[in-house]
Amino acid sequence: MSEPNTNTTEEFVLTDDNYYSDEANAIYLSNSTFKNVYGHPAHPHPCEAAAIYGEKIETDALIIGSYVDAYFEGKKAFEEWCEKNKDKIYQKNGKPYQMFKDADAAIQRVEKDPVFMKYVGGGNHQTIMTGEIAGHKFKIKMDAYHPGEMIVDLKYVKSAGGDWNDTLKKHTTFIEEYGYAIQGAIYQEIVYQNTGLRLPFFIGYITKEKVTDVGPVPDFDVIELPQEMLDEALEFVKIHLTAKPYNIIKANPKACGKRSCPYCRDRKTLTGPTEYAVFEQSVCS
């Protein structure tokens, strides 16, 4: 069994307060940083330059996801989150924005389900651990960690199904579309390094689906990711970190130059006209 991880380096102690800080990110990779830089099977080859130099935008999806996470963390954590972010929750007229009212209704729905609440509402919330994969230090923060039993991550998503994916040549689940097996594999591996136990990984999801004149009528479920899927995802992480270590990418990140990339569009400079065949290939491929 591995020795317990104390979440420290010689100079830096990782805590709730500094988990997302620039200093922590300079020491540790995370699931999100890995996917932003290396991609995942459904969306390979992202723009390295955008991942390293691009502006980190706090989208509505990130804000409302954090709101739902805070609720399930507990009353105190939720109250603190709401106080800290009240300018994002409330309009000038004092009423909350619609997405927060929708989230409250979705939360109330899943609270009625004992199975969902056992997995997502139970355990230890926002548990931090650190470890190492392919020579890179990693940090994780688990939504619901049930010691010795399981790891559960909460997702508040648009719908359970994704769109058609050209890379995979099929309609995807949201789990495939957003590479959540990568997250599960990293979490499972780091918990294993700290405890000697390779725990099953579950995703508890709530959707944002609505019915006209009724309001949110979310779908929800708890999904166990197959171990084979997690093993393949961990191998994906190891192969990419070994083939091109993060410090090499960070020292000289490459711009993808794709028309679909906002970072590259913002820095685009013409050197002359483009042949139609080249233009067609760039737009249609």
In the chain, domain spans: 22-254, 259-285
Sign of the Cα torsion 20, 26, 28, 33 reads positive
* Average pLDDT score over residue span 22-28: 94
Out of 3.40.50.11860, 3.30.70.20, 2.60.40.10, 3.90.320.10, the CATH code matching 22-254 is 3.90.320.10
Q: Which helix (H) or strand (E) holds 39?
A: strand 39-40
Q: What is the pLDDT of residue 210?
A: 76
pLDDT tier at 56, thresholds 50, 70, 90: confident
Q: What is the pLDDT of residue 209?
A: 84
| Distance, CA of 130 to CA of 126 (rounded, Å) | 13
Q: What is the pLDDT of residues 172-208, one digit of tens each?
A: 999 999 999 999 999 999 999 999 999 999 999 999 9
Does residue 85 carry a pLDDT above 60? yes
Residue among 177, 202, 38 nearest 120 (CA): 202
pLDDT tier at 242, thresholds 50, 70, 90: very high
Does residue 57 carry a pLDDT above 80? yes
Q: What is the pLDDT of residues 60-82, one digit of tens each?
A: 999 999 999 999 999 999 999 99
Q: What is the pLDDT of residue 9?
A: 52
